[in-house]
Amino acid sequence: MDGKQATGQVAIVTGGGTGIGRAAALALLGAGWRVAVAGRRREPLDEIVAQAPAGQALAVPTDVTDPASVEALFAATVRAFGRVDLLFNNAGVSVTAPIEDLAIEDWKRAVDTNLNGMFYCLQQAFRVMKAQTPMGGRIINNGSISAHAPRPGSIAYTATKHAVTGLTRTAALDGRKHDIAVGQIDIGNAVTELAARMAKGVPQANGEIRAEPMMDVAIVGQSVLYMASLPLEANVLFHTVMATKMPFVGRG
């Protein structure tokens, strides 16, 4: 389905100021969606709003680790646009360290953002989508390749991303009676500030340090747009988009 058929629908994108969130927000805006972009820092959110037609985008500074801040994000979106048709549940942090050296504060930060924050957004989306008319909507969780296979020294990130898969499966089941379709996008090696180190060389399972192939982050935005553009009678439960030659399938 052509994403432009979604003109006028309303999306919330968390972690929307940079990287994957920014690419998704721009793809949705380009297809005629109205988009509330959420993130900790206002400046990058305002930059996205400045690129959109007047009244089509809304910047909402949000801390997803704070349930009250998440509730305020959804309330602001409904006030501005009337409803929520899509949540791209994208905000997250990367934490890497050997297990024995991982600071407890970093473990908690990963859990609080990547798992708790994603749940808070998911819960608010359910509450809004089941109550609105017409009822329903779509939620796309950002799982990552790490929801399937770990990298060395990534126990906090990998554990939280595996947990996201549990959120996705359960919410997809529980959302059926409310016409809420829930899916997950697992992304590998898109060019963002977060993933830039991949192109310079990162640890491999065999102990080597190797540079890895990358892909344009705009491709991820188009993947989110495709998933979002489906009618609610259809759902992409899991979608993997990755640099074709990155280490993942098989032994590398």
Q: Which residues are catalytic?
A: 157
- Which residues on adjacent β-strands are paired with residue 210? 202
Q: Do 90 and 143 meet the contact criterion of CB atoms below 8 Å apart?
A: no
Q: Are 15 and 88 in contact (CB under 8 A)?
A: no
By the 8 A CB rule, do 86 and 141 touch? no
Query: Given CA atoms 223, 229, 231, 232 in this order, what sign does their dihedral have?
Result: positive
